[in-house]
Chains A and B, each alone.
Chain A
Amino acid sequence: MNIIVCVKQTVDLQQVRIRKETREPVLDNIPLTIGNIDKNALEEAVRIRDKVGGKVIAVSAGSEQLTDTIKEALAMGADEAILVISTEFEGADSGAAAAALAQAIKRVEDYGIILLGEGSADNYSGQVGPRLAEILDLPQVTYVSSLEVENGTIKAVRNLDDCFETVEVGVPAVVSVVSEINEPRIPSVTQILKAGKKPKQVFKPEDLGIEITRSITTLSNLAPDQDRKRILFQEGTDKDVASLVSALEAEGLVRR
């Protein structure tokens, strides 16, 4: 049984800056990386493989740079990658991503479990997993915080808003994970060096007969105005604490 893991390439959000005059995010020249929760999905895939065997195949749809970004997933333990590459994915919708992933996954023999993050690092829509499950006509188990796979049965605990739910389902199935499921490993230098040599298949959407849909129009994407005073007291001494308290009193926020 092979294990599929879907990982999305996004800009490193910690490095996104906001242009002060326009409130627009500055995305040029920001390094690309794989989403945090996607790394949890990958870590889980590797752990399952180490127990039950098979291969971990990382699948991703995105821009040209993906051939480089995906090395991070291969270094973390994926055995192979299947990439669907097109500039058209920019501004496309979650349905387009799901369609591309589905067609790529169909080329894998004997897959048992398809892992994803509960939400991508940037848009966090949580749509791709359920859409993928619908396209492939598979059961879906989302928001999983603990997972076991044994003899073709998946047993999972789901972390929902008001309860934990333990469920069972046979393979194949689509499973999305939450960040607390595990601690993703940091790859060693040898693994990073080996990553470049692992097998990669690269497709264009047209090779797979996918139409890239655009069902969402983004009218604007701006940082909300944050007009903060940014007054810093550098010492943390009694004097600084007293200055802070006076400032808060002056604003009527606290009473002595």
Chain B
Amino acid sequence: MAAILVFSERDDIAWQLLGKAAELGREMGLGVAAAALGSADPGGYANRGAQKVYISKNEQLKTFEASVYAEALSQVAKQADAAVILIGSTRRGKELAGRLAQKLGAGCISDAGSLEVKDGRLVCTRNALGGATVATQTITTELQVIAVSPGLGEPIESPETAEMVEVELALKPSAVKVIARSEKGQGAVDIEGAEVLVCVGKGFTRQEDLKMAEELAEVLGGLVACTKPLATDEKWLPEDRVIGLSGKSGKPNLAICLGISGQVQFTVGIRDAKTIVAVNQDPNAFIWQMADYGIVGDLYEVVPRLTAALKG
């Protein structure tokens, strides 16, 4: 039977995807398989909704390298008779998806934010135009590769135990040598689950001044998140605090945006907030179009006042 094949270099994401694949497989009449390549815990895949779990002891899979993994997955895909390949849309997952799709002559959608079956076809949504719009799309090639945003799908416990299939893969060593790796060791802040987010942008001129935002967040019982330049250029906050197209998406009850211009690549990550408040000194800033409430003014004056008022 043709199958949905699932892979992520992260087991937790692979298991989420298996939960989703089990649901889609039932609707589309497809089996579900997982490629537990490079996983430290292939046994952990046994009761996650797959009928078959492909494993390999090939030496080349020890470190993740996209071209090697693309070759490995293309071989597994043939053996598994894959009709759909779901990959976790991490950075590694995205670079893998593109290369694999090219190898297999498949159409590919990356960063799919939703996935459902309509009239027998898989329909995906993804951000387009930098996040200004959401495109609803289908892939028309026989084989489809979809890189799915992490967080879509819930891991399941299935009574059925998957068959472990060990595959022989023909793989050449990668030309890319990994010299060093340093973990980012980011704290376990849950921006995506926060009820209140205080988002800071380039309206702040010094790192020390972020204390104002932290105090406001504390009064509100929320977390501080930021725009991309504050993390990647200024390095004032870790990258796991970035909201937006290349960062995270929150769905808080309340988001307060301080000194943020409101370009689409940022607002796409905050648009599901119930209420948005903004403070910006520019009366023509884009952020006003996204705001429920706004104060036009210097955040250096407004934020301490706001914190004080909330403290009562």
Contacts and interface: CB of A to CB of B under 8 A. Distances in A.
Contacts of B239: 159
Contacts of B264: 13, 16
Interface string A119-148: 101111111111101110001111100000
A13 B129 contact: yes
Nearest to A241: B305
Contacts of B101: 95, 127, 131
B149 interface: no
Given A124-B111, A215-B140, A165 B180 contact: yes
B277 A216 contact: no
Contacts of A256: 310, 312
B275 A248 contact: yes
Contact of A226 (B176, B186, B271): B271
Contacts of B271: 224, 226
A28 interface: no
A247 B293 contact: yes
Given A14-B263, A226-B271, A142 B66 contact: yes
A95 B107 contact: yes
Contact of B288 (A216, A217, A230): A230
Given A123-B128, A221-B134, A134 B95 contact: no
Given A214-B140, A248-B293, A160 B92 contact: yes
A219 B137 contact: yes
Interface string A4-26: 00000001011010100000010
A139 B67 contact: yes
B288 A232 contact: yes
A130 B96 contact: yes
Contacts of B184: 162-164
A161 B132 contact: no
B contact residues, range: 35 or more
B179 interface: yes
Contacts of B103: 134
Interface in B253-285: 253-254, 263-265, 271, 274-277, 279, 283
Most buried by A among B130, B294, B312: B130
A251 B254 CA distance: 10
A18 B130 CA distance: 13
A231 B296 CA distance: 11
Nearest to A153: B177
A196 B130 CA distance: 29
A130 B181 contact: no
Given A122-B128, A126-B98, A139 B175 contact: yes
Given A130-B96, A228-B291, A236-B296, A167 B133 contact: no
Contact of A162 (B186, B288, B297): B186
B102 interface: yes
Interface in B134-192: 134-141, 174-184, 186
A231 B294 contact: yes
Interface string A206-229: 000000001111111111101011
Nearest to A120: B130
Which 5 pairs show the lowest CB-CB distances between chains A and B?
A236-B297, A215-B107, A130-B98, A127-B98, A130-B99
Interface of B: 66-67, 70, 90-92, 94-99, 101-103, 106-111, 123, 127-130, 132-141, 174-184, 186, 220, 228, 232-233, 239, 245-246, 253-254, 263-265, 271, 274-277, 279, 283, 286, 288-298, 301-302, 305-306, 309-310, 312
5 contacts: A135-B102, A140-B67, A179-B228, A234-B283, A242-B309
Interface of A: 11, 13-14, 16, 18, 25, 93-95, 98, 119, 121-131, 133-135, 139-143, 155, 159-170, 173, 176, 178-180, 214-224, 226, 228-236, 238, 240-242, 244-245, 247-248, 251, 253-254, 256
